[in-house]
Chain A
Amino acid sequence: MTSSAAVVTLDHVSKRYGPAGTPPAVSDLSLTIPAGEIVVLVGPSGCGKTTTMKMINRLIEPTTGRITIDGEDVMRLPAVELRRRIGYVIQQVGLFPHLTVAENVAVVPRLLRWPETRVRDRVEELLDLVRLDPATYRDRYPSALSGGERQRVGVARALAADPPLMLMDEPFGAVDPILRDRLQNEFLRLQAQVRKTIVFVTHDVDEAIKMADRIAILQRGGILAQYDTPDAILAEPASEFVSRFVGADRGLKRLSLGRVRDLALTSPTTARVGEARADVRRRLDEAGAEYALLLDESDKPIGWIERRDLSGDDGVTPDDATPGSPTLQPESTLRDALSAMLGSSVQLGVVVDEAERVLGVVSVDAISEVLRAPAATVR
């Protein structure tokens, strides 16, 4: 557990709060959480998400089964030492009100008796990482922070001792949707840098789909309903419960996982300003197409020209084109792409690079193809 990311395994883990015979909160759960991935535990309220997470750092002890971190049985490690090596963000953030932001972040390093200079440097580094200006925030108390700032301090505090594993219980639960979206994006950016193993609890399917490398869907009683990538779960829900849980719009949700760059682009019939109309007509005939994409000298798209507007023998002018075909970037989600295309007359999306040069076009058909395809073609 000294590397930068840990593998966590749960092996037939059960937890029963009451005496034998009462229904368990977690039932025979087996999971492998790969190093460096975000695994999201999701499910309806009371399904055992928090219980599962707390068994990993031993705030709750399993009734039966085994949990290992990098092969070490957690029950064999002293609880206190184990926890100091696991970052923990609790649902209500739980910043210590009598300590400043810097002191809150420094809690675990001080428990580990780091030298003061190292603690100070680490605090600065972490506040920068979560985008809180150290000079402004270091000496503030939690009561003087907004909800979003507190969440960030909570994340910085959990990251303080550079743990290979982070447990996060609804870390963005207490903020408004817009701020939540921003914190999610920031966290994903952060994770791309730090590459921890992260167990993330939420009851929000959309958050799970957005954050997860893998999703574990739990059902009441802590029964594992499905454990797979978001795309696989959306494409092929393993049960009635899962498909109801992820929602009737799972096709659209799947589209938000895919990117335009994952689609095979087709090359449109193109035309240049000043080119003879007859030439363009001939190329459209050869391609069996109805529309040609008009480009300027630097390959930027101007708009689409319909075949029936190409009578005569003059040169093509920019006025011939109907502007308004949406341009898409390779990074656009398929959901955004589809939405833009449905709003345009041609129902084709023009994909451009950073210099706005045309890379190719995508059709609504290409996108619906993706939806019919089995999992793993997206992403």
Chain B
Amino acid sequence: MDFLAQVLAWFTDPANWTGNNAIPLRLWQHLSLSVVSLAVGVAIALPIGLYIGHTGRGARFAVAVSNIGRAVPSLGWLGIAYPISTGLFQRAGIGFLPAFIGLVALAIPPIVTNTYAGLRAVDDELREAARGMGMHELQLLMRVEVPVALTVILAGIRVSAVAVVATAPLAALVGGGTLGAYILQGLALSDEVRVFAAAVMVALLAILTELAFAWLQRRAVSPGLAAAGDASWVEPPQLPAGPAIVPS
């Protein structure tokens, strides 16, 4: 009780709401880093997944990407990205860039794998019907394959988004701010209250992200696919490297 009261006191302490270590500032750093990383991750991964899924070419590439994604831990990405970015810009301590590169790399694999697996799971008869009715390849992709595979594609983005939000605190290690800054400070000062308060905020953000995507999925996916008995997306094919991430 006492501990929770201290946490509450930390949140209500006016000192934590102003200056260059203020909660709104850290939240803003956290969210902007997450959103930008995810957006760039989607912009890179989605076209790759769509291309591989639509053409069936380069499936081995998709598998390799997902293997790398699985093998390298989040902290590893940061460790890789830090020297690269400082090497690139010859300026140590610019925290945003290495964190950004690391998070983008983290976001890409689930989106590529799920997009690929989702498209591959679309029944061939739908492709044949679409082509037979005179759709161009791009029309087939955008009007049939993507809408039918949307649940699985969005599930990939959702997994990436949650991972990015939950991993963004590591940016603090390279001077990138975010809610992770409180955690570093708290560890250095043995201030458990501060560590706990930051962890709570990170967890809440992750949960909100999850909920936002659940809502988006309900809004965006056709009700015709939600109906029982449609197997075209419920069981995407297993990739050799492991299953796609399917919404629970």
Q: Which residues of B contact A83 (CB under 8 A)?
A: 131-134
Query: Is there contact, CB below 8 Å, between A96 and B144?
Result: yes
The binding surface of chain A is classed by DSSP as mixed
Query: Is there contact, CB below 8 Å, between A97 and B132?
Result: no
Min CB gap A173→B, angstroms: 13
Taken residue by residue from 136 to 159, chain B's Cβ proximity to chain A (1 for < 8 Å, 0 otherwise) reads as: 100100001001101000000000
Chain B CB within 8 A of A143 CB:
yes
Chain B CB within 8 A of A88 CB:
yes
Taken residue by residue from 45 to 60, chain A's Cβ proximity to chain B (1 for < 8 Å, 0 otherwise) reads as: 0000000000001010
Residue from B123, B223, B229 whose CB has the most chain A CB atoms within 10 Å? B223
Query: Is there contact, CB below 8 Å, between B228 and A97?
Result: no
Q: Which residues of A contact B133 (CB under 8 A)?
A: 83-84, 88, 107-108, 111, 157
Taken residue by residue from 324 to 348, chain A's Cβ proximity to chain B (1 for < 8 Å, 0 otherwise) reads as: 0000000000000000000000000
Query: Is there contact, CB below 8 Å, between A94 and B135?
Result: no
Chain A CB within 8 A of B126 CB:
yes
CB interface residues, A 140-159, toward B, < 8 Å: 141-144, 157
Q: Which residues of A contact B228 (CB under 8 A)?
A: 143
Chain B CB within 8 A of A81 CB:
yes
Chain A residue with the shortest CB-CB distance to B221:
A98
Chain A CB within 8 A of B232 CB:
yes
Chain B CB within 8 A of A92 CB:
yes
How many positions in chain A have a CB within 8 Å of any CB in the partner chain? 29
Query: Is there contact, CB below 8 Å, between A80 and B135?
Result: yes
Chain B CB within 8 A of A191 CB:
no
CB interface residues, B 210-227, toward A, < 8 Å: 221-225, 227
A88: which of B126, B129, B136, B150 is its contact (CB, 8 Å)? Answer: B129
Q: Which residues of B contact A229 (CB under 8 A)?
A: none
Query: Is there contact, CB below 8 Å, between A90 and B132?
Result: yes
Known A-B contacts A141-B223, A142-B224; A94 and B125 likewise in contact (beta carbons under 8 Å) = yes
Taken residue by residue from 148 to 191, chain B's Cβ proximity to chain A (1 for < 8 Å, 0 otherwise) reads as: 10100000000000000000000000000000000000000000
Query: Is there contact, CB below 8 Å, between B224 and A97?
Result: yes
Chain B CB within 8 A of A188 CB:
no
Taken residue by residue from 259 to 275, chain A's Cβ proximity to chain B (1 for < 8 Å, 0 otherwise) reads as: 00000000000000000
Query: Is there contact, CB below 8 Å, between A80 and B125?
Result: no
Chain A CB within 8 A of B13 CB:
no
Chain A residue with the shortest CB-CB distance to B127:
A94
Q: Which residues of B contact A141 (CB under 8 A)?
A: 222-224, 227
Min CB gap B140→A, angstroms: 11
CB interface residues, A 83-111, toward B, < 8 Å: 83-85, 88, 90-100, 107-108, 111
Min CB gap A79→B, angstroms: 8
Chain A residue with the shortest CB-CB distance to B122:
A97
Residue from A92, A94, A111 whose CB has the most chain B CB atoms within 10 Å? A94
Min CB gap B141→A, angstroms: 13
Chain B residue with the shortest CB-CB distance to A110:
B143
Q: Which residues of B contact A100 (CB under 8 A)?
A: 224
Q: Which residues of B contact A144 (CB under 8 A)?
A: 227
Docked CA distance A370–B150 (Å)? 61
CB interface residues, A 24-79, toward B, < 8 Å: 57, 59
Q: Which residues of B contact A57 (CB under 8 A)?
A: 132
Query: Is there contact, CB below 8 Å, between A97 and B230?
Result: yes
Min CB gap A4→B, angstroms: 19
CB interface residues, A 344-362, toward B, < 8 Å: none
Taken residue by residue from 93 to 133, chain B's Cβ proximity to chain A (1 for < 8 Å, 0 otherwise) reads as: 00000000000000000000000000000010110111111
Identify 26 residue pairs between A and B in the complex whose beta-carbon atoms are under 8 Å apart, listed by A's number.
Answer: A81-B134, A82-B134, A83-B133, A84-B134, A90-B125, A90-B128, A91-B125, A92-B123, A94-B125, A94-B126, A94-B128, A96-B144, A97-B148, A97-B225, A98-B222, A98-B225, A99-B222, A100-B224, A111-B134, A111-B135, A141-B222, A143-B227, A143-B228, A143-B229, A143-B230, A157-B133
Nearest 9 A/B pairs, CB to CB: A141-B224, A94-B129, A84-B134, A98-B222, A83-B134, A88-B132, A143-B227, A94-B125, A92-B125
